[in-house]
Amino acid sequence: MTDNSGVARVMGIDPQEIQEWIESFDAVLKEEGQEAATVLLDRLRSRAQKLGAGPAFTANTPYVNTIPVEKQGVFPGDQEIERRIKSLIRWNALAMVVRANRVDHSIGGHISTYASAATLFEIGFNHFFRGRTDEFEGDTVYFQGHASPGVYSRAFLEGRLSAKQLENFRRELRPDGGLSSYPHPWLMPDFWEYPTVSMGLSPLMAIYQARFNRYLEDRAIKPKTNAKVWAFLGDGETDEPETLGAITLASRENLDNLIFVINCNLQRLDGPVRGNGKIVQELEAAFRGAGWNVIKVLWGSDWDPLFERDVDGLLVKGLGEMVDGEAQKLVVESGAYVRQHVFGTDPRLLKMVENVPDEALRTLRVGGHDPRKVYAAYKSAVEHTGSPTVILARTIKGYGLGESGEGRNITHQQKKLNEEELREFRSRFGIPINDEQLADTPFYRPTEDSREIQYLRARRQELGGYVPTRKVRSKPLVADHDALFREFLTGSDGREVSTTMAFVGMLRQMLRDPEIGKLVVPIVPDEARTFGMESLFRQVGIYSSRGQLYEPVDQHTLLYYKEAKDGQILEEGITEAGSMASFIAAGSAYATHGINTIPFFIYYSMFGLQRISDFIWAAADMRCRGFLLGGTAGRTTLAGEGLQHQDGNSHILALPIPTLWAYDPAFAYEIAVIIQEGIRRMYKDGESIFYYITVMNEAYAMPPMPPGPEIREGILKGMYKYRASENKKSKLRAQLFGSGAILREALKAQELLEEKYGVAADVWSVTSYKALYYDGINTERWNLLHPAEKARVPYVSQCLSDSPGVLVAATDYLKALPNLVSKWVPRRLAALGTDGFGRSDGREALRNFFEVDSRFITLATLHELLQDGKIEATVVEKAIQDLRIDTEKANPLLT
Ligand SMILES: Cc1ncc(C[n+]2csc(CCOP(=O)(O)OP(=O)(O)O)c2C)c(N)n1
Ligand SMILES: [Mg+2]
């Protein structure tokens, strides 16, 4: 605190002496400059530390603007015209929401978030955000999702969106189109680039995007530029663990291409963010502690003269001690209240404002609404080097909504204004709409030759075009890559390998390929050794912006831990969320950078869709491409690890994501076919899809791919007959479905059934129930809508049309997975799966516990034959004995 008088009195130090110290410091600052003054302070601090009198740690600076008035510089824009433009944007944003809710009051929308963010956005649009051009990659901007009406409203002034589109805000299903509620690239692929509305995702994505930009530069895949990544967040949003979860990465990596702007309106949805505390100070401490450059923009220019007069630091002290709940109250109260509560604590303060009228006190602006202050902060941020910057800008939620919303706890959900409130807003922002028109709340766009439109267009032209604009810039790949995958189609010659090892072999091949080699981005969250990928450390190196500043302990070994500035592997440490953010940056680089990077993110499968599904959902929204590999997958295939690790869920959790193709392959050739096809579809045909492939750590001999074109097609479509029974005469028939490692249990059951019970069973490898399910529902839908035409037949039904016998499916995932297709199979389907909590034990014990081993597949088959009246119950009972099945065993679902 700047007020030392209290301290001085308590400690018995002569205030005169303090004054002399301050004057000496001032003299150094004036005569020797800022650097010298800092050195002096550092030396004094060290000295004090040494003598045991070090100052108490504080991560905070006083509650004032970080940039002093003297350092503010000049504002280069035309402030008046920019205010006019901003006012029009405010109006149209408000009109959008108000109009939409008149038509349908359930439609929602947000006015107050943009009302608080308008100046923060507009300074960016008029002076900082650079568009993507052929010459320059442009800046990346994550807009606060709930402020979308403001971004649409600006695009309307820019002439990029029509009044009709604004009219249909949040009514995307209107025949003439509409605008999505929030930033969704899936829905507006030429406009939005980054989905931000699930809070906390965009800050994390922004950090990893900024780091990925550096990765591309360090690997010479794109030129070095000074492009920036901007992320606009809410202060309430910082409570999401993802928001602050990776801020140390940003400083560790010196990401001075990253700027966070936190809109500190002190409110979230229900009420104050920190009623009893100070969110700005809390965030300042967190970011400073993490090594960020923190710029606070708390007070507007109106406050400058007051601080100038605050020689004793009383005002700063008072503001620093005021909790946010009270600060919010000042917004809704009168000037007299402000006088009493801000200045009434000390006669010296009251004197300071004795000539300031109440009205002026009431309207004292906070920093985030003052273009000059915001401009100075942004300029300082873009010029800052060595670390990322966060701008903490004090704003007012619902700014301009007057008594109906400004600073009120209800403001977040406000979407209606009465005529009086509209009139006030209109007058406050000088919108040229007369009283009669107000009831209609029309949109307003000045004519093309107006100063406003001319200015706005000129600014954007100067900055390289409109933001946001999403444009796919990459060129399709050319080669078909047959040679890369050929060796995996011929089997492992009896050598026992896991599908994970097979995948790593493919990855190694891809990394060597002249076309895609450099585009492959392997991503691991500290599990490379788990997946046997350590050989890649040496082959392509681990990316480190600093290279390797130490000699690794294992340097003498062949596979040492090699970090390199041009390393290719993103070894993210233990953060699936961060790794996914890297996947998103790499998987969307085809649009962001025009570069077809192909991410392969391999992780412990339980910690993927189960843990970070919202990021995967956002990746789909962003039209990301690439491969997610769920390693150590399968509830009974991952032995030993137990309840938290064994994944029997992820294929169910993959279901809702429309663009995610999910596969559970058993053999190396299946994976080869899937990956090759994936690369073709995504990077040659440009489909906006991505892949989820589970791979296991159970080693077995990989068979060669059976001959015939239908195999390849079947693998991709979701199922194919892997091994038919040779016994064509038996009356007892069955079709067994297996997937992943459980396919081998089905194969063992096939033998058991044949040898012991005379049942001839065919075995199918079901590589993707999701693919079968999507095909089924799509076919059904087509039939529903085309009753007079020849009905189409789902692929799974086609496969089984000539396949006699009972149907039994076994999976390492929930029984719901095979049951997804049960309605399209010709007869009843018995499903075996792994519902319940996992256990730590060996595979054999686990498969018995979950009732998915060859014995249970055999039993289920016999049971189905019994149901069909093909065999006697005694046969089944005998089988239970022979197979040593404990009929009183624990139910895995309930124990
Ligand atoms: C993950 C997630 N949880 C909840 C919400 C719902 N939600 C939307 S806005 C909001 C409050 C936002 O407050 P803040 O971040 O301070 O933004 P402001 O509108 O105040 O600028 C909430 C809870 C959401 N969008 N995402
Ligand atoms: Mg807020």
The finding on whether 411 has its CB within 6 A of some atom of ligand 1 is no
Which of 689, 474, 697, 511 lies closest to 591 in space, CA to CA?
474
How large is the average pLDDT for residues 768-791? 98
CA of 614 to the centre of ligand 2 (A): 22
pLDDT in tens, 475-507: 999 998 999 999 999 999 999 999 999 999 999
CA of 237 to the centre of ligand 1 (A): 6
CA of 723 to the centre of ligand 2 (A): 61
Residue from 144, 232, 269 whose mutation best tests the ligand 1 pocket (most atoms within 8 A of CB): 269
Closest ligand to the CA of 196: 1
The finding on whether 328 has its CB within 6 A of some atom of ligand 1 is no
According to DSSP, the residues that pair with 734 across neighbouring strands are: 761, 806
CA of 655 to the centre of ligand 1 (A): 27
Phi then psi for residue 599, to 5 deg, are -75, 140
Give, using CA atoms, the residue closest to atom 13 of ligand 1.
Answer: 268
If pLDDT is split at 50, 70 and 90, which confidence band does 11 have? low
Predicted pLDDT at 1: 38
Measured from the CA of 238, which atom of ligand 1 is nearest? 15
The finding on whether 263 has its CB within 6 A of some atom of ligand 1 is yes
Alpha-carbon span 885 to 883, nearest angstrom: 6
If pLDDT is split at 50, 70 and 90, which confidence band does 403 have? confident
Predicted pLDDT at 57: 81
Predicted pLDDT at 15: 82
How large is the average pLDDT for residues 691-712? 97
Cα angle at 71 between 69 and 72, to 5 degrees? 65
The proportion of the chain whose per-residue pLDDT surpasses 90, expressed as a percent, equals: 91
CA of 265 to the centre of ligand 1 (A): 12
Q: Is 133 exposed, middle or buried (0-12, 13-18, 19+ CB in 10 A)?
A: exposed
How large is the average pLDDT for residues 633-660? 97
The CA–CA distances, whole Å, from 400 to 7, 403, 406 equal 42, 9, 6
Cβ-contact 627, 662 below 8 angstroms: no
Residue 56: pLDDT over 50 = yes
The finding on whether 407 has its CB within 6 A of some atom of ligand 1 is no
If pLDDT is split at 50, 70 and 90, which confidence band does 2 have? very low
Helix or strand run (H / E) with residue 142: strand 140-142
The finding on whether 237 has its CB within 6 A of some atom of ligand 1 is yes
The finding on whether 294 has its CB within 6 A of some atom of ligand 1 is no
Measured from the CA of 614, which atom of ligand 1 is nearest? 1
CA of 117 to the centre of ligand 2 (A): 10
Closest ligand to the CA of 240: 1
Predicted pLDDT at 7: 46
The finding on whether 265 has its CB within 6 A of some atom of ligand 1 is yes
Give, using CA atoms, the residue closest to atom 25 of ligand 1.
Answer: 198
Q: What average pLDDT is seen over the chain?
A: 95
DSSP secondary structure code for residue 850 in this structure: T
The finding on whether 268 has its CB within 6 A of some atom of ligand 1 is yes
How large is the average pLDDT for residues 563-590? 98
Alpha-carbon span 265 to 321, nearest angstrom: 18
Question: Comparing 11-25, 455-469, 872-886, which segment has the lowest mean pLDDT?
Answer: 11-25
The finding on whether 146 has its CB within 6 A of some atom of ligand 1 is yes
Predicted pLDDT at 418: 86
Residue 6: pLDDT over 60 = no
Tokens for 383, please give them: 């010029």
Measured from the CA of 235, which atom of ligand 1 is nearest? 16
CA of 792 to the centre of ligand 2 (A): 53
Tokens for 52, please give them: 């045991």
Closest ligand to the CA of 182: 1
The finding on whether 116 has its CB within 6 A of some atom of ligand 1 is yes
According to DSSP, the residues that pair with 491 across neighbouring strands are: none
pLDDT in tens, 343-363: 999 999 999 999 999 999 999
The finding on whether 242 has its CB within 6 A of some atom of ligand 1 is no
Give, using CA atoms, the residue closest to atom 17 of ligand 1.
Answer: 234
Phi then psi for residue 630, to 5 deg, are -80, 105
Cβ-contact 289, 58 below 8 angstroms: no
Catalogue the E-assigned strands of 633-707.
660-663, 690-694, 700-701
Please name the amino acid found at residue 263. Answer: N
The finding on whether 630 has its CB within 6 A of some atom of ligand 1 is no
Residue from 142, 143, 184, 268 whose mutation best tests the ligand 1 pocket (most atoms within 8 A of CB): 268
How large is the average pLDDT for residues 626-646? 97
The finding on whether 269 has its CB within 6 A of some atom of ligand 1 is yes
CA of 148 to the centre of ligand 1 (A): 13
Residue 405: pLDDT over 50 = yes
pLDDT in tens, 754-775: 999 999 999 999 999 999 999 9
Coil, strand or helix at 378? helix
Which residues have CB less than 5 Å away from ligand 2 (the ion)? 234-236, 265, 267
pLDDT in tens, 287-345: 999 999 999 999 999 999 999 999 889 999 999 999 999 999 999 999 999 999 999 99
Residue 727: pLDDT over 80 = yes
Task: Name the pairing type of β-strands 496-497 and 700-701.
Answer: antiparallel
CA of 459 to the centre of ligand 2 (A): 29
How large is the average pLDDT for residues 773-797? 98
Alpha-carbon span 693 to 665, nearest angstrom: 7
CA of 28 to the centre of ligand 2 (A): 41
Closest ligand to the CA of 398: 1
Predicted pLDDT at 409: 87
How large is the average pLDDT for residues 540-560? 94
How large is the average pLDDT for residues 812-832? 98
DSSP secondary structure code for residue 355 in this structure: T
Predicted pLDDT at 243: 98
CA of 835 to the centre of ligand 1 (A): 35
CA of 152 to the centre of ligand 1 (A): 19
